[in-house]
Amino acid sequence: MTFAARSTYGPAAAAFLLAAAPGAAVAETTQERLRRGDAVVRGLNNGAPQAVLEGMRREFPFLAEATEGYALGDVWSRPGLDNRTRQLAAVAAFAAMGEPGFMKVHAGYALNIGVSEEELKEIIYMVTVPAGFPRAIAASRALAELFAERAASGRSPEE
């Protein structure tokens, strides 16, 4: 069989197979992505589900599924970066974007996996250069709040 013949039958065969059982293939893929996303959250959150995601699941189920399946299941679970690097990048990105709420969630995850308070502070200092002082100050306030909440609950800073 020549390359031309294979290229003619290949797309037709693939289309036939997808048409024969599209629901099963998509459902399995979606469930796997959601399973990976759930594993990412529980791995970062000391085995617990993430409260914001669970609330979103009740009020905005499509958004919750997209977040868990794509952001966590596809992107966050990719090889190439360890969780520590991913969390430091997320903290820096959310601080620079002026999103202290999201930054606080990811800073909490970072502390859960062993990043120190001092390292998080250094990330915020770095944010002043590309994003400016107002965003860094907003991020520092959110971090101070997180540190105080963890101290009040009796958790050590890196716990």
CATH number of 82-159: 1.20.1290.10
Q: Cβ of 83: how many Cβ atoms within 10 Å?
A: 17
Are 83 and 91 a contacting pair, CB within 8 Å? Answer: no
Greater pLDDT, 76 or 7: 76
Q: What is the pLDDT of residues 81-135, one digit of tens each?
A: 999 999 999 999 999 999 999 999 999 999 999 999 999 999 999 999 999 999 9
pLDDT at 7 exceeding the cut of 50: no
Share of residues in the chain with pLDDT > 70 (%): 80
User: At 137, is the pLDDT very low, low, confident or very high (cuts 50, 70, 90)?
Assistant: very high
CA distance 25 to 13: 16
Are 77 and 36 a contacting pair, CB within 8 Å? Answer: yes
Q: For the chain, give every domain's residue range.
A: 7-78, 82-159
At residue 155, the 3 state secondary structure works out as coil
Angle formed at CA 22 by CA 19 and CA 23, multiple of 5 degrees: 145
